[in-house]
Structure 1
Amino acid sequence: MPPMGEWQEVECPARLDLSGGWSDTPPIAFKHGGVVVNVAVKVDGKRPIGAKVRRIPEPHLLLVSTSGEPDCSISTETICEDLTDLEDYCQPHAPGALLKAVCVCSDLVCLSSPLSLKDQLLKRWGGGLELRSWSTLPHGSGLGTSSILAGAALAAVYRSTGRSYNTTSLIHDVLYLEQILTTGGGWQDQVGGLFGGVKVARSAAQLPLRVEVEQLSLSQDFMSVLQQHLLLVYTGKTRLARNLLQDVVRSWYARLPSIVQNTEQLVINAEECAEACRQGSLSRLSLCMDRYWQQKKLMAPGCEPVAVRMMMNKLQPLILGQSLAGAGGGGFLFLLTRDPQQKERVRDVLSKIQGIGSFSVHSVELDMDGISIIQKSSEHPD
């Protein structure tokens, strides 16, 4: 294990899902197989998601979650001194629930052990742990924040306790964590933020589920063009991803023909999207993006708020393709523009629309590294 007090810090990009989302979601993925194309991105030049962990002499768990931009961030601090303090890890809205789930999923502590939390921590790790996580993205962004955050926190815990892992193992750890957290969801978010660049990820129609990631080898010219034509618009609308997920799974279990057929089309479109990226074709990529948005709306009716439809209609002359990120319902809208460097023009168009509320426009930069280890330090956090 690293020395007491030495931070193990990791940071991650966000992800944009270009095609195939929902096909990666259990139980759909078990039956049909899943294929997703997504890309790791920095938002306004920064990796927005991270976590750091250190061992501390006090035999307790100090969990701190911070969200929002630094000048207006909100932090939640939770101290766990007894095993009962961790028992609400399966209630997503409980204080520190995600970090509590990280502690359980990573086998940092065992809730069924006859030993107390204090004794477990002293016996196994020589003291307690301090876990800090952060995201500068708005809540419900659609950019895969919670899954990527879980992956970052797990990696930092493993490093601080002297255990090994690889990126593929983190993907499956996060999938398990989200099941015990009861938020559910698929595997594509963590693939998007833990692996860098543009990639196609697949899981065969089988159990146990195994995700395999193919990082697409793209020309420097295409990556440069893609970066210049991608933009993010925060719609200011609250997403209800968990509700959408439950509705989609119910519809799939009901074997509605439209849902079953659409699930198969999601996989086909994702493979076409991967080929468009390999060929460096923005026009083919935009067709796949638009088709993907129609597929999302069929999977989850109601995922397109009225204000978002107004935005998309007004932006149509400027763009090749567009889609709400993630499950839809709000969060970030991502655009593939006809011309490069359209940030100011997009902002100008949106500012003239009546009744859409607050919004913001953000630049996108492809992140080729994915999850990254930050230089260790022993200093106290700010």
Structure 2
Amino acid sequence: MEFPRPGIRSLTRGAFVPVRARAPLRIGLAGGGTDLSPFTDTHGGCVLNATVNLYAYAHILPREDGRLVFEAAETGERFEGAADEPIPDGEAARLHRGVHASIVRRFLGGKPLAVTVRTTVDVPAGSGMGGSSALVVALIAAYQEYLGLSLGEYDLARLAFEIERIELGLAGGRQDQYAAAFGGFNFIEFHAGERVIVNPLRVRPPLVKELEASLVLYYTGRSRSSAAIIEKQQANMQQGSSAAIEALLRLKAEAVTMKEAILTGDLRLAAETINRGWEAKKATAEGISSSEIERVLELALANRALAGKVSGAGGGGFLMVMADPFDRQRVLDVLAQQPGRVLPCTFSAEGAEAWRARL
């Protein structure tokens, strides 16, 4: 995809004022997995997700010494090199390298850019809440503010997808970048030819509060790489596995049902949709669930939870549990006694944002 080359903001104005950006993480309510190729290219996919008040942050500060420094505080990784030399391949701060190299190539014509780029994320890596993609979106948003680039939400999400999935070759779908760029509740359609349509949902404020009073996030304590699970899912699709394809078609249908449930405020239907979607999700590939995940979900359901599923590709990370608000405390209490960590779920209406820190 070609992006315009707007005039670059002068870097001397407020040169040593840090630029900051943040992009929200998301929970997947329905349809996760249908945003993967080759399913999307053949059948089209759709997901319903919502961003939460957990964020990936990016900070940019210019340097006068001609050096380039990347610091990924969330993982403890660091890279330093000369800004006028090619960035070598490497695992440390891999996302930072990819975003910086792409921005410099696309918008600066290869002109060196000496900066310190530091990032933090509110949840551990491998949480299943789209943290890696949110981090890429936050990084691009920070460069956008720093350089004065003109990118809309679709541009931002598409560029993040190209950097993460194509240029860096990291396995994954398409929903996370669009969720982080747009924010809020979105029903997102994925069509052949990389055509994406984001449909923001007008969810009434009382229903948002009711959802917040119903949902619980439980971190299993187990970080996992989504790439291995996603590669299994894609292999099943490419091999024409009827079980996997049928499961994905069910997931696609459940996304439409979830949209109806959210817009009409039918949380019982939403809970039923989550449970059906979870069963379908597990049929798409091995490794999505585990004995520990099943134990915790069964325990929550035995203590009046209405529904539960893993957030993201599966294998670990966060579980999303739904309960009637009258019974939510009982679910919270029983989950608090487990080895993981319990968090409330509150929603963010805003997508990626960037600003200059004039402190």
> SS state of the match for residue 150, structure 2?
coil
| 2:17 equivalent in structure 1 | 6
Q: Distance in 2 between matches of 1:100 and 1:341?
A: 47
Kept in 2: contact 1:235–1:359 (CA 8 A)? yes
TM-score normalised over the length of structure 2: 0.90
Query: Which residue among 39, 58, 61 is the counterpart of 2:68?
Result: 61
Q: Distance in 1 between matches of 2:260 and 2:155?
A: 27
| 1:70 equivalent in structure 2 | none
Query: Which residue among 141, 151, 168 is the counterpart of 1:165?
Result: 151
Q: Give the deviation of 1:378 after TM superposition.
A: 5.5
| 1:27 equivalent in structure 2 | 38
> SS state of the match for residue 366, structure 1?
coil
| 1:368 equivalent in structure 2 | 349
| Matched residue type, 2:277 | Y
What pairs with 1:166-315 in structure 2 (closer than 5 Å)?
Answer: 166-179=152-165, 180-204=167-191, 206-207=192-193, 209-315=194-300
| 1:124 equivalent in structure 2 | none
Kept in 2: contact 1:51–1:134 (CA 8 A)? yes
Aligned length: 344
Which consecutive residues of structure 2, in runs of 5 or more, have no partner in the other structure? Answer: 1-8
Q: Structure 1 residues 142-151 or 4-13, which shifts more? A: 4-13
Structure 1 residues 340 and 156: CA distance shift in structure 2, 3 A:
farther
Kept in 2: contact 1:175–1:185 (CA 8 A)? no
Which consecutive residues of structure 1, in runs of 5 or more, have no partner in the other structure? Answer: 68-73, 122-126
Kept in 1: contact 2:216–2:332 (CA 8 A)? no
State the Cα deviation string for residues 248-300 of structure 1 (Å, max 9, x = none): 11111100111122222221111111111111110111111111111210112
Q: Distance in 2 between matches of 1:29 and 1:52?
A: 34
Q: Distance in 1 between matches of 2:157 and 2:93?
A: 21
The answer to whether residue 340 in structure 2 is matched with residue 359 in structure 1 is: yes
Q: Give the deviation of 1:173 after TM superposition.
A: 1.0
Q: Give the deviation of 1:77 after TM superposition.
A: 2.3
Kept in 2: contact 1:235–1:332 (CA 8 A)? yes
Q: Distance in 1 between matches of 2:133 and 2:243?
A: 29
Q: Distance in 2 between matches of 1:217 and 1:233?
A: 27
| 1:71 equivalent in structure 2 | none
State the Cα deviation string for residues 5-35 of structure 1 (Å, max 9, x = none): 2222111221000011111112321221120
TM-score normalised over the length of structure 1: 0.85
| 1:97 equivalent in structure 2 | 94
| Matched residue type, 1:148 | A
Structure 1 residues 134 and 190: CA distance shift in structure 2, 3 A:
same
Q: Distance in 1 between matches of 2:122 and 2:206?
A: 30
